[in-house]
Copies of this chain bind each other. A is one copy, B any other.
Amino acid sequence: MDNGTQHNANAWRQTRHQLPEVGWTEIMATFSIVEHLKSLNGDVSYGKTFIDTKSRQGMINEQEWDRAAERAEENGVPASFIAELEQGHTGAVIQFDTGRSGPHVAYRVDIDALPIKESKDAAHEPVKNEFQSQIPGAMHACAHDGHTAIGLGIATYISEHLQDLIGRITVIFQPAEEGSRGAKAVVNKGWLDDVDYFLSGHIGIASLAVGEIAATSSEFLATTKFNVSFHGTSAHAGAKPEEGCNALLAAATAATQLHAVPRHSAGASRINAGYLNAGSGRNIIADTAELHGETRGSTTDINAFMIKEARRIIEASALMHNVDYQFTIVGQGEAAVCDEEWKQWVPAALQNSRLITNVHASMAVGASEDVTVMMNHVQKQGGKATYMIFGTPLKAGHHHPAFDFDEKVLQTAAAACLQPLVTQIWTASEEK
Contacts and interface: CB of A to CB of B under 8 A. Distances in A.
B278 A282 contact: no
A279 B268 contact: no
A308 to B, nearest CB: 10
13 contacts: A178-B283, A223-B238, A225-B283, A235-B397, A243-B400, A252-B253, A252-B255, A263-B268, A265-B366, A276-B276, A282-B293, A283-B368, A287-B401
Nearest to A226: B282
Nearest to A204: B239
A244 B273 CA distance: 12
Contacts of A249: 255-256, 259-260, 273
Interface stretch (A103-111, A156-164, A309-317, A345-353): A309-317
Interface centre among A178, A236, A294, A296 (most CB of B within 10 A): A236
B276 A282 contact: no
Number of identical monomers bound together in the oligomeric complex? 4
Contact of A274 (B179, B237, B265): B237
Contact of A367 (B114, B238, B286): B238
Contacts of A266: 242
A242 B252 CA distance: 21
A260 B259 contact: yes
Interface in A201-243: 205, 221, 223, 225-226, 233-243
Nearest to A272: B237
Given A276-B278, A283-B294, 18 more contacts: A115-B281, A179-B283, A237-B274, A239-B365, A240-B398, A241-B263, A241-B265, A248-B273, A248-B274, A251-B276, A252-B252, A256-B256, A256-B257, A259-B259, A263-B263, A274-B283, A274-B286, A316-B319
B319 A315 contact: yes
Leading 4 A-B pairs by shortest Cβ distance:
A237-B272, A252-B252, A316-B320, A259-B260
Contacts of A71: none
A114 B280 contact: yes
A116 interface: yes
Given A263-B263, A275-B280, A400 B235 contact: yes
B274 A366 contact: no
A317 to B, nearest CB: 7
A60 to B, nearest CB: 12
B284 A236 contact: no
A269 interface: yes
Nearest to A290: B277
A262 B265 CA distance: 15
Nearest to A397: B240
Contacts of A114: 280-281, 284
A280 B236 contact: no
Contacts of A273: 248-249, 252, 279, 282
Interface centre among A242, A263, A289 (most CB of B within 10 A): A263
Nearest to A286: B274
A3 to B, nearest CB: 33
